[in-house]
């Protein structure tokens, strides 16, 4: 039905074009002959020839227009329609070949290139979605398997009370890890769809000191030394709740990857219109490849500590820093520790 309607539309369009061209050519001949003041008998004698020329010129013009459309506009439009049909059917690999298209259809070529760019973005999003679901499934599989194994062991009537408590503790740890994973996924999903933050003016140094205080006991229990070198009057304009997530994640990672006898240092200082904060540790460090992927969701460069996290913390840190209009970078070498440096803009009035 649609093809028939399209064919009728084309026929009607070319008939209209033919009549319009014939009319213009006829009027042109009429004005030409009128200016020459030819005898009426001569005009009548040559009328059939003139009429034939009018038809021939009209047909030639229509043919030229048809050829131009076929090898310029229609070719691009046909490819666009085929690609969009494939995309609508779920084929995200659909692309429009623009290598042999003529420059006469520049506007349509631009549409085709924009379509290809959109298709690449959608394909990338689909890949990320697939990877995300696979990563979530993998992260959930481990604690659920732990819960099941402990539950099976608890069914054994010969289990002692001490073993029973140990199994229950294992189940609780697995449930806590699953809860933490779900909580971080929800937080990250909210951050990824968030474009504005509730900025407030506050002293970043005070916030850093409070966050460090929460890790003092943990560091002491691990035999880790914690130092601070924080300048005064570090007034920033940011969301304090979100920035607290940043510092807690960076300090938690520092503790996790630093061995007994190591040291964690938190430094903050003003730098023109910025406040720079560095969280350094003397832990295991990371290679260049790990450093390039460390802010990706579910990425864990050191699998020996995989049970202590879910690979979402640094992804949240990067997103929060981006929302705050700041920057974050990591400097690390294997065996020499890591330094995460966050740059947040100072409050404009405080900077003066």
- Rounded to whole angstroms, the Cα distance separating 195 from 197 reads 7
What pLDDT, on a 0 to 100 scale, did the predictor assign at position 66? 74
In the chain, where the domains are located: 2-71, 131-192, 200-351
For the residues of 167-231, what is the DSSP string, one character each? HHHHHHHHHHHHHHHHHHHHHHHHHHT------EEEEHHHHHHHHHHHHHHHHHHHT-EEEEEE-
- Rounded to whole angstroms, the Cα distance separating 241 from 277 reads 17
Helix axes 161-192, 313-323, angle to 10 degrees: 30
Q: Is 131-192's fold the same as 200-351's?
A: no
Torsion of CA 80, 86, 92, 93, to 10 degrees: -70
Q: State the Cα angle at 210 between 311 and 216, rounded to 5°.
A: 70
- Rounded to whole angstroms, the Cα distance separating 255 from 313 reads 14
- Rounded to whole angstroms, the Cα distance separating 124 from 126 reads 5
What pLDDT, on a 0 to 100 scale, did the predictor assign at position 308? 53
Question: Beta partners for 264?
Answer: 226, 281
Q: Please, which residues have CB within 8 angstroms of residue 223's CB and are 6 or more apart in sequence?
A: 260, 261
The b/e string for 308-336 (b: 16+ C-beta within 10 A; e otherwise) is ebbbbbbbbbbbbbebbebebebebeeee
Q: pTM above the 0.85 mark? A: no
Question: Beta partners for 337?
Answer: 333
For the residues of 45-70, what is the DSSP string, one character each? HHHHHHHHHHHHHHHHHHHHHHHHHH
> Which two structure tokens, joined as six digits, stand for 288?
């260049």
- Rounded to whole angstroms, the Cα distance separating 13 from 16 reads 5
Q: How many CB atoms lie within 10 A of CB 222?
A: 15
Distances (CA, A) of 116 to 43, 73, 78, 98, 128: 59, 18, 15, 10, 18
CATH for the stretch 131-192: 1.10.287.130
Which of 50, 56, 48 has the alpha carbon at shortest distance from 27? Answer: 50
- Rounded to whole angstroms, the Cα distance separating 73 from 242 reads 52
CATH for the stretch 200-351: 3.30.565.10
Do 323 and 187 meet the contact criterion of CB atoms below 8 Å apart? no
Residues of the chain predicted below pLDDT 50: 104, 303, 305-307, 349-352
- Rounded to whole angstroms, the Cα distance separating 274 from 35 reads 82
Q: State the Cα angle at 249 between 298 and 300, rounded to 5°.
A: 25
Using one digit for the tens of pLDDT, what is the confidence trace for 106-162? 677 778 788 888 888 777 777 666 766 666 676 677 778 888 888 888 888 888 888
Angular region, 144: left φ>0, alpha ψ -120 to 50, beta rest: alpha
């Amino acid at each position: 039905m649609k093809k028939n309607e399209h064919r009728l539309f084309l026929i009607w369009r070319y008939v209209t074009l033919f009549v319009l061209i014939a009319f213009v050519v006829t009027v042109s001949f009429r004005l030409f002959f009128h200016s020459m003041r030819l005898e009426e008998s001569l005009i009548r004698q040559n009328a059939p020839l003139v009429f034939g020329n009018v038809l021939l010129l009209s047909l030639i013009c229509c043919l030229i227009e048809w050829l131009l459309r076929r090898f310029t506009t229609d070719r691009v439009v046909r490819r666009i329609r085929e690609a969009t049909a494939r995309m609508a059917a779920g084929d995200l690999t659909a692309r429009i070949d623009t290598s042999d298209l003529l420059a006469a259809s520049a506007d349509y070529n631009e549409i085709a290139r924009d379509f290809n760019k959109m298709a690449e973005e959608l394909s990338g999003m689909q890949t990320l979605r697939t990877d995300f679901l696979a990563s979530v499934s993998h992260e959930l599989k481990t604690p659920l398997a732990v819960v099941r194994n402990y539950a099976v062991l608890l069914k054994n009537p010969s289990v002692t009370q001490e073993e029973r408590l140990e199994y229950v503790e294992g189940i609780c740890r697995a449930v806590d890890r699953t809860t933490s994973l779900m909580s971080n996924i929800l937080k990250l999903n909210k951050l990824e769809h968030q474009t504005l933050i509730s900025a407030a003016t506050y002293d970043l140094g005070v916030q850093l000191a409070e966050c460090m205080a929460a890790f003092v006991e943990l560091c002491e229990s691990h035999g880790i030394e914690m130092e601070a070198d924080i300048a005064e009057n570090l007034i920033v304009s940011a969301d304090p709740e979100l920035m607290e997530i940043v510092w807690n994640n960076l300090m938690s990672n520092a503790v996790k990857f630093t061995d007994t006898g190591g040291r964690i240092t938190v430094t903050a200082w003003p730098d023109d219109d910025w406040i720079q904060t560095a969280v350094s540790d003397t832990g295991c460090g990371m290679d260049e490849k790990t450093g390039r992927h460390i802010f990706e969701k579910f990425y864990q460069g050191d699998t020996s500590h995989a049970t202590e996290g879910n690979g979402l913390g640094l992804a949240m840190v990067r997103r929060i820093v981006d929302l705050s209009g700041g920057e974050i970078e990591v400097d690390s070498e294997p065996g020499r520790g890591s330094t995460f440096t966050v740059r947040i803009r100072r409050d404009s009035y405080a900077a003066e």
